[in-house]
Every structure is written in C-alpha cells, then in structure tokens.
Structure 1
C-alpha cells in the first residue's frame, strides 16, 4: 500500500495547524484509497516518526513525505534528512521518499499568483 505524509514545521498556536488539517481532509476526499497523515518538525504532534509508525501499522509499504514548506531552508536541508534517515532505520521494510518544498513547484507558485490576483 502507498501512503502520504504531509510534513510541516509546527507552531505553538494550535490555529496554525488548521490549514494542514484542511489539506489532509482534501486529500482524503480526493484520494480515499491512499492513506494520509500529518507530521510536524516541532511544537506539534505527530512527529515524522509517529506518522510513519501509524502508516506502518496500517500496512503501508511505500510512503511519500510531502514537505509543506515554502522553500528549501535549513530545516529541510539539515534537520529533515536526519529525521527521515532515522525513520528509514526504524522501519526498513518501508520505502520512504520525500519531495522538495511545495513552494519550489511552479504550479504551487502559480496558485499563489492566482490567489493574489483575486485580491485585486
């Protein structure tokens, strides 16, 4: 089974998580046969390891981690690879892969331009 993790930074304010919950809900509505979990780098749960463990317990054999960050900064370049490697070591039976930051994708950038244009 294939699965996806939407990975974000995390924040102290619980309201910050709300768009991530909506994003996961959109995924579930559009791809009901592909499990999704949220995971956060810090300050929020679940952690990446907890999300991988949850999906592993549901039978996931392949997990794609989507980095819901605007750019490839220090967290994605330095912290994230260490976390991903630790998950791979703990769950060697699972094929883990990761995307670049969503903000690096032209379609995402275009969606932001379209959003901004609607504000005019």
Structure 2
C-alpha cells in the first residue's frame, strides 16, 4: 500500500502539531495497514525532505503527499513543490505524487458550520452574525479565496450576517469584522476559524474577539472528524489517479 505523507504548515505552538497528529491517528484507525507519516514545512520536525528520504531508504517506490493546507498561498504554490522536486532529484526511483490541498472541501465547510453550532447558537436564529477567520496572506487573491467559503457556511441556516476576516495583518481584521456585524444588527456573534489547528495566530484572533461583547468562539477544524475524512479522500484520489492507464 502506498504510504501517505501528510504535510502540515508547522507552528511554534505544540498544540498545533498535536491536533494534526490526532487527526492522522483517526486516519490510521479508519484505514488499517496504511502507513501514515506526518511532515512539516516549517518550525517542526520531521521536515518533508526527511520523511521522503526515510521512505526512499525503506525501499518504497511510490508515495502520496497530502498538503494539509486550506489556501493556495506561498507554501502551497512555491515552497512544497520545490521540496518535492528536490526529493525527486535525490530519489529518482521514488515516484512522489501530490494531491490538491484540502482547500474549501465541502466536508470542511460543513464541519465549520457544525463547530459554530457547537458554541450554542441555533441555525434558525437570524440574529447570529458569523466572522469566518482565516490566517491571511500577503497575496490579495489568496485572501479573496476565503470569501466564497462564507456563504457556503451559511447555507441551510437563517444566518444572514457574515464576513470573512484574517488573523494576520490582512483586512478586514477580526475586530473590524466583528464590529461591522454588530453594527449591522447581529445580537450574537461567532468567531469561526477557517484554520485547521490551534496556534499563536488563532490565539491572537481569539484575544481580539474576547474584548467584544456577545462573542462566542468556535474551535479549529481539527476538532471535527471531517478533517480525517478529507485527508483520506485526497489520498484515495491520488492513488486512483496513479493507477489510471496513461494515454499515449
């Protein structure tokens, strides 16, 4: 069976790697016999190169890489592809396949909605305002990619007041988004992370939210079983494509 290498961003906050590791434990439990390994792009070990080197040393000839990323910012577009190219050059006998990022998968959108309702708000309450918080990027187009997620999270609810916002310096900020929702008439506010795992940036966003009245804070996506399901689906699709007959 082709090994799965799940590639996380990495964080100085140990809660982040623990949350991702727990999601991968679920993948393992639901896929007995699957060799699942965790690698990091930054700040944590093992690195992507170290994990791929170890798999090559173990004699594997194919590996499926699944980037645990929600957006197509620098790490998805530049950093990870460069690391995979370097690994292929070092190990020409190892076929390194890479899936698309987790992105705005429908299961993750549904998970975000579930985590919002877990704060105690009702899907039938039109007075709820939702600020969907992503990490943020220096690239405006990467930030704009978060905007279509917002109405999808609201689908099937009575919620009509919502906004994307960002934990970094990108605009709108958490504070400005929550303020705008409050001024629009929302009586109960929810800060909902479009962020996989807890960490310092999410703590910063929560700190801002805690200073605003009537705000509830949802937990990050790794608190939901859907993350493991999307990782497994990305892996299965990548393996399936690898075995499709090639057209001359």
Same fold (TM over 0.5): yes
**Alignment partner, residue 187 of structure 2:** none
Q: How far is 1:11 from its partner?
A: 1.0
Provide the residue aligned with 1:69 in structure 2: 69
Unaligned regions of 5+ residues in structure 1, if any?
A: none
CA distance in structure 1 between the aligned counterparts of 2:62 and 2:88, rounded to whole angstroms: 11
Give the Cα–Cα distance (whole angstroms) in 2 for the partners of residues 118 and 103 of structure 1: 22
Matched, 1:53 2:34: no
RMSD over aligned CA atoms reads 1.6
- Give runs of ≥4 in structure 1 deviating > 4 Å: none
* Paired residues, number: 120
Distance change >3 Å, CA 117–CA 63, structure 1 → 2: same
Partner of 2:108 in structure 1? Answer: 108
Matched, 1:11 2:50: no
* TM-score after normalising by structure 1: 0.88
Map of 2:117 onto structure 1: 117
Larger relative contact order (CA 8 Å, sep ≥ 6):
1
Q: Secondary structure at the match of 1:44?
A: coil
Deviation per residue, 1:71-94 (Å, 9 max, x gap)? 111111011110010111112212
Deviation at 1:106, TM superposition (A): 2.2
Which residue number in structure 2 is paired with residue 2 of structure 1? 2
Question: Which residue does the alignment assign to 2:24?
Answer: 24
1:97, 1:21 → 2: CA distance?
21
Could you tell me how far apart the structure 1 residues matched to 2:108 and 2:3 are? 21
Residues 52 and 71 (structure 1), Cα distance of their counterparts in 2 relative to 1, 3 Å cut = same
Structure number with the higher helix fraction is: 1
User: Normalization by structure 2: what TM-score?
Assistant: 0.45
